A and B are shown apart, each in its own frame.
Chain A
């Protein structure tokens, strides 16, 4: 249960958004854009803090609100980032916005990746499509404090090479000697030279050792559902498997009742869960 830190409330009301300005827009894939933004209010810009894995509620005032994780790392606080796939009413409205446009933001909400639990362990990141956005915040956080962690494996995949998000990050991690970067696509094309195959299969090939390791999984539900058994086969215990889940959200603070998996609200008790917490309900509710 996250403690309610009220210092980021706008005018004392948890539902009121702060106004933020879009500073930069990066086209990741034809359907996905990353927005760099910062708060209009100077004081808030300096004081705002968050942890990797937390999310925010982003408003296009007049259209609605939507939930996206903060995909930049707290170790690089000059601006905040979030990635959006153009699929619905609010995401289409966001897609029509340009640099300099104003959006609403309230948060940060939800729990975060347990950095203390991860310290001194091997980390296996398993990402799918835009699911890399929440992991990216943690990966850069970990790389900026590289000495606190042991081996890092990143297995990331997307449907086609054009669907790979954050290509610039993939290259940076590939060059980084201390990181084992494995990128795959479900269906390659003539220019694609890397691995071909769905993420769970490639993960089996990479076969990271389960000893002193923690796996962090995020991607479409189908990928998560097939990744957990692979990790179990590799010897990962339920406590060693973390995931951030995505559910339809409206309030983001555990009031509107719709983002539950079993008795846990993804917004209030998550979005980061260990497989142990949710294995009773995930097969039938996610």
Chain B
């Protein structure tokens, strides 16, 4: 496919063009941490410092809090009002391949059996412009999880850094449509694409952290009842929600109602299997102990998801490693799962 290219100094112009049709979100450090914020119109300093955001792009499809519907209690009973059609068309600039792959993993759940209207409508309305990593973090291990710092598969457009320009790979029709309507893009030459390939190789080798997930599904199944192992693994965990709420492949949510006088609404908000009340039933709580909750967190991604969708629900973005208050490291845990895969008791 004929790739395009754009100079790094023309990025501002490019984003301005796109801002006419889309609500452009780009990385920003305004609040002291990297996050996707509405692009303020001129700042493109993120091209130098940006590595990855703290809150993953999943937050624009499954927001930390979302109103599902409103209701009013009138004289003749309840009236339920679904949310208005959201017409804003976001464009997220700078999505990393690990987060893009994570959204493909989330799609599997939100499309399975019943379609989730909220998540899927946002997914359809949003354009994802990916950007290849040139400076992976120490905690990143995407190359061990079936993707790479420049993997274009799950975004509409993919920008690869080739010196002072970006090569733009058109991945989906939405992407082609976008570049067709965008002025000022140059055609990529053969040596641009050679430079891109060479840049991809360089980025790939800069991911130092490795993880061998060979046979992990069976190892976890075999050690599912190994309480001693799970207690040792969960010892230092403090059951906070960082590694799950900020994980791009975590999708658990809670549903709550609020009503003031005669009007109310039902909310959906992020939840975590690490929280003690996550499975609490009035009579008992199957996962009261911390080690059971840590086991669920690990097994869901490396055993249950593979059993159901034949893919490990982890893309090696490294957030859970670098953001954990006690430096609980998923790669160390996976390596330490007992290797004996003899039949279960």
- Interface residues of chain A, those whose CB is within 8 Å of chain B, are 1-4, 10-17, 19, 40, 59, 61-65, 85, 87-88, 91, 102, 104, 220-221, 246-248, 250-251, 253-260, 262-263, 268, 280-281, 283-286
Contacts and interface: CB of A to CB of B under 8 A. Distances in A.
Interface in B256-304: 256-259, 264, 266, 271, 273, 278-284, 286-287, 292, 296, 300, 303-304
A180 B112 CA distance: 42
Given A61-B264, A254-B114, A283 B251 contact: no
A257 B255 contact: no
Contacts of B256: 64
Given A64-B256, A263-B304, A248 B281 contact: yes
Contacts of A102: 77-78
Interface size class of B (residues with CB under 8 A): 35 or more
B224 interface: yes
Contact of B259 (A61, A246, A247, A254): A61
Interface in B180-197: none
Contact of A15 (B69, B77, B221, B271): B69
Contact of A254 (B77, B113, B224): B113
B80 A247 contact: no
B253 interface: yes
B104 interface: no
Contacts of B78: 19, 61, 102, 104
A185 to B, nearest CB: 19
A280 B224 contact: yes
Given A14-B117, A257-B273, A248 B80 contact: no
Nearest to A12: B117
B115 A65 contact: no
Contacts of B37: none
A250 B286 contact: no
A254 B112 contact: yes
A248 B280 contact: yes
Nearest to B279: A248
B114 A220 contact: no
* Pairs A-B, 4 closest by C-beta atoms: A62-B259, A87-B282, A263-B304, A257-B252
A63 B266 CA distance: 9
